[in-house]
Amino acid sequence: MLAAITTLALACNPIPPGQLPDDVVITPGGPAYRANVQQQGIGNLWSPIVTSEVGLGDNVTVSYRASLVTSAGETRKNIIAVRKAGVLDYRPLTLSISNVPASLKVTQGEKGGGLPGTSYQVLIIEIPYQVTPGQYPFDININFDGKDYGKIPCTVKVIVQ
C-alpha cells in the first residue's frame, strides 16, 4: 500500500525540469538543500540530504556533507554552515580547499549568514564526464571569526549509473 501511495504522490508531483535535490534554496533560517525543504500540500520529491555535524572546539560546530555520491558529469553542492553557540550576530567565515584531486573542480559559491551565530558558504563540486568511478577525498580548511579551526574531510564517490 505504501508503494502505491508513494507512486501516486510522485505521479501527482513530478520533479520540475532542471531541479536537483542539492540545489540551494534560501529559507528564513539560511540556505538549505531543495530536497530538505517541503512545500505545504506537496509530497517530498526526493530523499532528504544527510549532513554531518562536527565539533571544532570553542563551542563552534560545522554542518556539511562529509560524503557525496554522484555520477560522472554532474555538479554537486555542499553547504558548509559554521555556528558558534551563544553568539547572536554574523561572524566571518573563510574557507579554502586543499588536496583536491586533479579530476575534480571545487569552487566557492555564495556565502552569508543564517540563524544567529551561523555563517555559511556553498562549495560547488564539478565532476567531469571522463572521471573514473571511485572515491575522491579532499579537505575543507575553516577560518571562522578570525580563528583557524583546521580542516574537515570531504569525499566524493563517483558511481556508474
Q: Kindly report the pTM of this predicted structure.
A: 0.85
> Which three three-digit cell numbers place residue 85?
553557540
- Do strands 147-159 and 67-71 pair parallel, antiparallel, or not at all (unpaired)? parallel
- The reported pLDDT for the residue numbered 17 is 75
Assign 123 to helix, strand or coil.
strand
> Which three three-digit cell numbers place residue 148?
583557524
- Quote the CA–CA distance of 79 and 121 in Å, as a whole number: 6
pLDDT band at residue 44 using 50, 70 and 90 as cut-offs = confident
- Quote the CA–CA distance of 38 and 147 in Å, as a whole number: 36
* pLDDT tens sequence across 56-101: 999 999 999 999 999 999 999 999 999 999 888 888 999 999 999 9
Which runs of consecutive H residues, i.e. helices, occur in 1-137? 2-12
- The reported pLDDT for the residue numbered 146 is 94
Boundaries of every domain in the chain: 1-46, 50-159
Q: What is the mean pLDDT of residues 122-150?
A: 96
**124 near 75, Cβ under 8 Å?**
yes
| For residue 10, pLDDT beyond 70 | no
Q: Does domain 50-159 have CATH number 2.60.40.10?
A: yes
Instruction: Report residue 104 CA to chain centroid gap.
Output: 16
- The reported pLDDT for the residue numbered 38 is 80
